Structures are given as structure tokens and as C-alpha cells.
Chains A and B, each alone.
Chain A
Amino acid sequence: MQLILTGLGEVDSVSKLLEVRNLKTHFETEEGTVKAVNGVTFDIHRGQTLGVVGESGCGKSVTAQSILRIEGARGKIVEGDILFYPDPKGGDPVNIAKLDSDGQEIRAIRGKEISIIFQEPMTSFCPVYTIGNQIMESIILHQKAEALQARERAVETLRLVGIPKPEERIDEYPHRLSGGLRQRAMIAMALSCHPQLLIADEPTTALDVTIQAQILELMRELQREMGMAIMLITHSLGVIAEMAQRVIVMYLGRIVEDAEVNELFDNPKHPYTRALMYCVPRLGSGIERLQPILGSVPDPYNIPTGCSFYPRCPEFIEGLCDVEAPTPVKISENHSVSCFLYGKGGAADGSGHTD
């Protein structure tokens, strides 16, 4: 079944950078266990942009945090593998899910092979050190550079992300930079050691629209120049359409749909994906009112049985969706969906509604 979700045509170990298999990250809280990520399988290929989309609380960020093992003290990867292929020429992968979250091995990957930028450029820099200090920290740590060399490289990276007068800005404290500049500096910090994968966790959500466009353009440019892969987490389908080559749609800790980007927008299958698309205003569509998704994301302690989307689903089949959990069904070469409307999982025969 997992093989179906892998379903990318060009799969081969040389281009594959990250392979997440049946990942389950749970959080123990006083109220109970939150299954934030509950069986997620996907791949990221070198130089590719993977979009991850879904409402708040769907496990997008926790998936990203699990990849860097920064899921926090209460979070725990209870099952699954995160295979990272550091060597482009092949070679054995590292199973990040099995590493000690405070160990030397994962620390050598963080910031060097895989970097992350967060939603809040305002609070992601520590306010009492200059941005130069914080960028140089990575460079000194991973590239064993002297302070002076590291400073040169930091200036270079700041110039690369389009910060004017980088020789001066490097000594600024974060609170003296605007939100857009701070996010640029954040990207500079993430890219300072030339990572193979950049995870961008809602990088533009806190910025105003014109700056959003600039930051996205910058990320695309840098990807062309440096060739890194991007895992872009967002709840904006517009951003996905502009940036990603492949998209996974998440709902309550599971992937409900996984497709190549054009395929997803031309041919959305899962009722949740379709509902997400109806929420986006479109010029010239003639639709006067947007259609919201019914209800809200359920309480994480009481995830519905069966398909977790059924209470909000307009096409819910009684006696099936609320009893059984759907498994991924392959619709075409690069499109799979977890929904009974497209046949029972595994069979993938497209026989439509059973029962």
C-alpha cells in the first residue's frame, strides 16, 4: 500500500533525497495522546519542491519538525522511518527517525544538510545577538571556519538573499530590520551551509502580500542557483501553485491526496482538497460567495473513527466512511488519493462505491 503512495514515475535512489515511511509522531499531554502525525509516507527528490498543504492542526509542521528531530520533549516518533540520502551518488541512507534527538549525528545534519525557516521572522532570531553572530554560528559550527572567514561568508549569503549593504547589516540586531528583511536574513542563515533540503514552514504567512511575493521569488531563484530541494509548508493553495512540483494534502495527521501539481489543480479528487479549493477566491469565476468547509478541525484527542474527514464531508457514505479508514488508491501514474469514492484501497480497481 505504501508503494502506491510512492508512485512517482522517476523514482530512483540517485534522485531521491528523503524518504518518509509510515511516520507517526505522537505527543503525550495530560489530556491524552495527540496523534499529530499518524502514518505519513512521502518522498522528496533532489532539487524538487514539495508542497504540503492543509488547515492548521493537520500535522504539517510536526512532520517538518520530525525530519529535523526538533519535535520537542513531549513529542515522540512512535513508528516509521525517515530515510535521508546524503550522498547524491548513492550510498546508504541515514534513518533520522532512529537517531538520538540530541546526538552528534543529527546535529551534523541540522543546519548543514537540512535547514528550516519558520513562519515568524520576528521571533525566530534571538533579539540580543546580531544577525551576523547568529548566521556565523552555523558557518563556524559546520564548516569549521575561522571567525573572519565565517563573517565573509555570512556577508556573501546576505548579499545573495538581496539584503542591501550586507557589510553593514550584518552587525544589526534583529529588531532593527523590517519583517521582510528579517525573513531574508533567516533564509540566509538557513542557506549559509548550502543544505540539500530547505524546509520552509509557512515562510510568508506573517508577511504582507508584496513581501510574500518577493520572498517566494527569492526562494525560487536560490533553488535554481543552489539546487536544493524545498519542502514548502503552507495553507495557501496559491503559493503551492506557484512554487511546488508535487503536492501532498494533509488532514489530521494523514495524507489524503498526493499528486503532481498540475494534476492536483486540474483534477482534485479528495473532497477535502476540493473543499480547500472552493475556499480560494478566484478572479472572473463568477462565484459571489466562497464556500467554507463545514465545521472545523475536530478535537485532536477525539479523532473520528474511519475516515477522519467524514463528519465534514459532503459526500460521506454511511456505514463505510465512519467505520473503515480508507487507504491510498492510485488514480494515475502520479496521483493517489485516500477516499472510498475511488474504490477501496489496495484493490485500486476504481470500482466506485461499494456497499
Chain B
Amino acid sequence: MTGYVLRRCLLMIPTVFLISIISFAIMQLPPGDFLTNYMIQLEASGQEVDQAMIEALRMRYGLDRPIYVQYFVWIKSFLRGDFGFSFEWNRPVNQLIWERLALTVAVTAATMLFSWVVAFLIGVYSATHPYSVGDYMATFVGFIGLATPNFMLALVLMWVAYSYFGQSVGGLFSAEFIDAPWSWAKVWDMLKHLWIPVIVIGTSGTAGLIRTLRANLLDELNKPYVVTAVAKGVPKMRVLFKYPVRLALIPFISTVGWSLPGLISGETITSVVLSLPTTGPLLLRALQSQDMYLAGSFIMLLSILTVIGTLISDILLAVTDPRIRFD
């Protein structure tokens, strides 16, 4: 097991290396470089372009050099923790992303927790009471959840909250906390705001998980080992949770890895609608304005998170299912 984890960790290095090349390629895809874009922007707004600063930047990032040299310069500073400079914001990327990344992870983690708990309870109920009224209701709600776009749900929720309760539901913080330093009061304030994005973002994922769990569990319930356990005299509920539920969770666990990036990029539109200070909207704007170092850094970090997520889900999988342990 330790060997397996170690091997997987080592395998992450070439994966991340490949991702960095692709990230860099994406940054270079639009015509021109960000400095030409920047100059055009400045000139369009009638400001004077400081040629000396442009040249200094061009030298600093080696933009006058061949692409592969540029890549090594970028990856070297990236590894040192210097993610470059955001032109849109006129600040180092470093200052922009960490808080948003942390908030994104918080929203994602809360959403996953919500999805899992709700999907687990409803999925197990649905599978053990197939074709019952409760199952049909869960199926109905599940399909609505799957079919409704998240931003639509967000708009409906905002409208209901505003027109019936006179409450504004946008953002993660109340006005007085937005620029305040972190404190317990601010965390509490965030938790009070968190439930809306969690419901909005989590609904479709939850619906999908319910359907998956129900199908898996229905399959597992018909396996001979369930009858074997019942025939040993084990009580029904204990049989259910010890045997088929654990096996039904295996495909569940293997999706943790990819639900991480899914939640981060999937919530972009919802975050825009709900004006959440997460990575989604920032990444979207960076891509629109060709703010390439910001976009590239984001893509890199999200990719690394994805690789880590996949590793975590693979380890969990190996713990749950002895058949896939490589030893």
C-alpha cells in the first residue's frame, strides 16, 4: 500500500510537468502577447504608454526570446512561487489568487459534503424501496435537479429571497465583512452565506449521485453475497450497510477526483450570478482579457488540485476495494 501511494506520488510529477506545458501553450495561443494587448488597452483609453516599463517587463519575462526559453523562465519562477503579473489588475498574480482559491476550496468542500450526505441518504432509501412513492419522488426531484441549470436556480432563489424575505443573497460575506480581516465573526458570516451557493451548486451533482448510487446499490442488492449474509442470520440493516452499500460506494469514490475540477469550473456562471469571490469568475475574466499569466497560473493550480484529487480518490478506492490494491 505504501509502495502504491509512493509510486502514484512519483507519477504525479511527469503529469504535472505535462500539464504545465499545456497551460503554457494555452497562454500563448491568442495572437500577440499580453504586452501588445496591454499597450492597445492603454492607448485606447488615451493614456501614454511607458515604453521603458514595457521593455523592462518584456525583458523580465523574456518575451523577446524563443518560446521554449520563455517556458523555462516561466516554470522556474512558477516553481519559486512567482506566478507572474496580472495586467488586468496591475498586481502580482500571487496577491490575487490565494484568498479566492481558499474560498473556492471552502465552497467546493461544503458542496461536496452536502451532495454526499444528501445523495447517500436518498440514494440508499431509493434503492432499498424501489418503485415506492418515496423513490418516485426522489427520482422526480432528482431529474428536475439534473435538468435545471444552476444559474437558473440561483436566479430563482435570489428572486424569492429578495422579494419575499427582503434579503440579498449575493456574495459570501455581508457588506461590513468584505474587506475586513479574517476573524471568527467573518467566518461565521461566511457560513451564514454559504448555504445558498452550496444548494445552488450542489443540486445537480447531488441529483446525479442519487441516480448513480441507486443504480449501483440495486445491482449490488441482487448479488449472491447479500443472500449469503442474510442466510448467516445477520440483521437486515447490518447486512445492507456492511456489504452492498460499501460496494455501491466504489464508483462513487472514484468520481471524487474529477468532481473537484468539475465543481470549480462548473460553478463559474453561478458564481457570476451570485457574485461569489471564488476562482471561477476571475478565471473567466482573465481568459476574456487575455490576462495570460493570471489565467495560466489558475489553470496550473486547478490542474494540480485535480491531480491531487485523483490521487486521494485512488487511495480511498484502494482502501475500500481490496481487489484493486496493487501489491
Contacts and interface: CB of A to CB of B under 8 A. Distances in A.
A111 B232 contact: yes
A45 to B, nearest CB: 22
Given A127-B322, A141-B234, 12 more contacts: A70-B231, A102-B236, A111-B233, A112-B233, A115-B231, A118-B227, A118-B228, A126-B225, A126-B247, A128-B321, A141-B232, A189-B232
Contacts of A110: 230-233
Interface string A104-132: 00011111100110101001111111000
Interface string B216-255: 0000000111011111111110000011001100000000
Interface of A: 68, 70, 102, 107-112, 115-116, 118, 120, 123-129, 134, 137-138, 141-142, 173, 175, 189
Nearest to A108: B233
B7 interface: no
Nearest to A138: B232
Nearest to B228: A124
Contacts of B320: 128
A134 B231 CA distance: 12
Contact of A127 (B227, B235, B236, B323): B323
A118 B233 contact: no
Contacts of B231: 68, 70, 110-111, 115-116
Contacts of A102: 236
Contact of A137 (B224, B234, B246, B321): B234
B228 A125 contact: yes
- Most chain B beta-carbon contacts within 10 A, residue among A109, A124, A128: A128
Nearest to B319: A128
Interface of B: 223-225, 227-236, 242-243, 246-247, 320-323
A126 B243 contact: yes
A109 B233 contact: yes
Contacts of B235: 107
A128 to B, nearest CB: 6
B65 to A, nearest CB: 55
Contact of B233 (A125, A128, A141): A141
A142 B246 CA distance: 24
Contacts of B321: 127-128
Nearest to A115: B231
Scoring B246, B320, B323 by chain A CB atoms within 10 A of each residue's CB, the highest score goes to: B323
Most A C-beta atoms less than 10 A away, residue of B224, B233, B234, B235: B233
A129 B236 CA distance: 18
Given A128-B246, A128-B320, A128-B322, A123 B223 contact: yes
Contacts of A70: 227, 230-231
Contacts of A120: 224
Contacts of B228: 118, 124-126, 134, 189
24 contacts: A70-B231, A107-B233, A110-B230, A110-B232, A110-B233, A111-B231, A111-B232, A111-B233, A111-B234, A112-B233, A118-B224, A118-B227, A124-B228, A125-B225, A126-B229, A127-B247, A128-B321, A128-B322, A137-B229, A137-B232, A138-B233, A142-B233, A173-B323, A175-B323
B60 to A, nearest CB: 55
Contacts of B225: 123-127
A123 B323 contact: no
Q: Which 3 A-B pairs have the closest CB atoms?
A: A110-B233, A111-B232, A111-B233
A124 B228 CA distance: 6
